[in-house]
Structure 1
């Protein structure tokens, strides 16, 4: 990813490589625990290189506002899950993740509909060591911080989303984790991510025009 940055290549192109998919495919036990053995990869992913003092993560958002869980026999069943993997230490200085815990939001008189409504006192900052893993249900408000000049290193990270395939697809195509996208499919998916996230991601003009 450092080479991508030096050559001004969007970091999402790292998903052309088998090694990127393998990092997430090793998480089968964890994903099966939350989504069941019959889970699939959603066509949603991204990669970040946040340079010290010059960049910031994505602003507060939910990955999916109303498709994260369903109620089945009086219990919540997780539909989809976002995973976020830091490749360098993610710290408050270089833009680690922050969230609005659902346990707090549920106590409000009304759900948060705009990021500006998030009470700053309720924000939870989530520093994470390189190679650790963060995950959340997709109706959780989350965001990346700003990297300060005092940051000792850039924040490099990857994300990929998954869903319980026993339920209707949230988005197609879904991919079998044992058979990740082919190189041709990966390139097409990367181009789709540029269009999907152009409203929120920092992209070169020639990518989005």
Structure 2
């Protein structure tokens, strides 16, 4: 990769953007995280327990989402939340956390649960993000939306694709936790009129969470990140990754496999793809946009 595609910019930011294409920069700046190490050898997948799995299936069928807990995530999310804070201090978009094994491991832990809904040959989609919602800056999460809409539902209403959302810090109504309109309370859910929102405000559900929790929803449900309050004590940090069935056409390309162990270069390209494809949702400094374009060129 060359530096010639990066336009003239502030010297500090330009120097940072150049460094961000080098694996050594990331290993040196975030020594507590790993690249192509943690996912090898003793990496463990969360076992599927019958009663919670049955409840998750019932909730998905009726409400389009469910919440679960995995204590192993407490360590992973603790490492990542501290790294996100360092990203913010260095003016690095937090989505770059997907260069590290710990981000992928948090999702791969739930392999059996994802496979229960999407089949054992499910595919990881090239769609992910990391948020740092700062109440001091008056920030909010993404506006109300459906990730894929009704095209993400099979004829019987079962999901063709899923989003898994993981809080890296406490997520509360004050610092911008997720909100959702359960499928069974949404009169236009799964219909051709899904864009004409009809919301019964009493049916809206807040989804507060702690490190160790995770949320999975189908990609037709309406959801959003809340506006933070200036009275919140800490930012809301979180991340999400998307999955789809392996026996249908890709919702986005390239599909990545079931639990891929990606090279640093491929992870960097994927992060660059996120920066460009979500620019309408999360605009970033022009130096970061230029870096993304350079990486993908």
Same fold, judged at TM 0.5 (above): yes
* 1:113 corresponding residue in structure 2: 195
SS at match of 2:157: strand
* 1:62 corresponding residue in structure 2: 146
* 1:165 corresponding residue in structure 2: 246
Q: Distance in 2 between matches of 1:93 and 1:58?
A: 15
Pair 1:77-2:158 in alignment:
yes
Per-residue displacement from partner, 1:108-137 (whole Å, max 9, x unpaired)? 89834156x534333211111122001111
After TM superposition, the structure 1 = structure 2 runs for residues 165-204 of structure 1, keeping only pairs within 5 Å, are 165-204=246-285
Q: Distance in 2 between matches of 1:97 and 1:80?
A: 19
Q: CA deviation at 1:155?
A: 0.6
SS at match of 1:133: strand
* 2:92 corresponding residue in structure 1: 9
Q: Distance in 2 between matches of 1:122 and 1:179?
A: 38
For the 8 Å contact 2:165–2:241, the answer to whether it is kept is: yes
Match of 1:34 among 117, 120, 133: 117
Q: Distance in 2 between matches of 1:48 and 1:92?
A: 16
Q: For this pair of structures, how many residues does the alignment match?
A: 205
* 2:212 corresponding residue in structure 1: 131
Pair 1:87-2:168 in alignment:
yes
For the 8 Å contact 2:124–2:259, the answer to whether it is kept is: no
SS at match of 2:128: strand
Q: Distance in 2 between matches of 1:121 and 1:114?
A: 18
Per-residue displacement from partner, 1:28-70 (whole Å, max 9, x unpaired)? 1111111111111000000001112321100001110232111
For the 8 Å contact 1:67–1:80, the answer to whether it is kept is: no
* 1:147 corresponding residue in structure 2: 228
SS at match of 1:149: coil
Q: CA deviation at 1:166?
A: 1.8
The 1:34/1:203 distance shift into structure 2, 3 A limit, reads: same
Q: Distance in 2 between matches of 1:190 and 1:5?
A: 16
Q: CA RMSD in A?
A: 2.0
SS at match of 2:267: helix
Q: Distance in 1 between matches of 2:268 and 2:206?
A: 34
| Gaps in structure 2 of 5+ consecutive residues | 1-83, 291-297
Higher relative contact order (CA 8 A, sep 6+): 1
| Gaps in structure 1 of 5+ consecutive residues | none
Q: Distance in 2 between matches of 1:134 and 1:94?
A: 17
Determine which structure has the larger strand proportion and give its number: 1
State which structure, 1 or 2, has the greater radius of gyration over its C-alpha atoms: 2
Q: CA deviation at 1:106?
A: 2.9
Q: Distance in 2 between matches of 1:173 and 1:180?
A: 15
Moved more, 166-175 or 187-196: 166-175
